[in-house]
Homo-oligomer: A and B are copies of this chain.
Amino acid sequence: MPEPEIDAPSGALSRAKQGRERILGAIREAAIAEFSRHGFKGASTKAIAERAGLTKPQLHYYISSKEELYEELLYSVLNGWSGAFIFDSNSDDPKKVLSSYVRKKLDYALDNPGLSRIFTTEVLGGGRNLGKYWPVAVKSTQQKVDLINRWIAEGRMRAVDAKVLLMQIWGMTQHYADYGVQVHIMLGLAPDEPIDREHIVRELTTFVLLGCGLAPD
């Protein structure tokens, strides 16, 4: 049992609450690991419980159902994305905006591979839980499309199909989460060795900018 920290900076949590938070965190991590590997149907609460160091009844003390746990994680991805994957509104420079977008999307994939993969399993499974998400995503995409189309109309970038461009960026960045195993093997890395993020970002950004007819720096 860890010692209670005397002056917890972010508000004094009771020991019990700390324990509860820690356990909830362990459950979250375990659930991400299992759902991202096997999808909703294929994941088992037993495996989640064991990974979190709990018994199955203990797990059900903290969560109410497998489905709710899954949806919580799924919504957590969606919320993370809706916050992160917006075009930087402080700039109107295609190069800057696109570079920043690529970087943020890749960062999310590399920082949250498990959550990213859960979204992928959901889409693979038909996206039945995404009914409410699609309109949001479509709207958010449309805003980006409109901006890109304006840039194109203003002659500031090549006349690409904006939607296709966004999907290509999505595909390339998501790949580093979904296909992490393959990426590591192809790059000759050990399974837990981190990839050279800056290198990837550089390659990716240059590739995208050139693909858009923009001269990288």
Chain A residues in the interface with B (C-beta under 8 A) = 36-44, 117, 120-121, 123-127, 134, 137-138, 141, 158, 160-161, 163-168, 170-176, 178-179, 181-183, 185-187, 199-200, 203-204, 206-208, 210-213
Contact = CB atoms under 8 A, between A and B. Distances in A.
11 contacts: A41-B41, A120-B179, A137-B182, A137-B186, A158-B210, A161-B203, A167-B186, A171-B179, A172-B172, A206-B211, A210-B213
Contacts of A199: 161, 164
A44 B41 CA distance: 9
A40 B37 contact: no
Contact of A172 (B126, B168, B179): B168
A120 B124 contact: yes
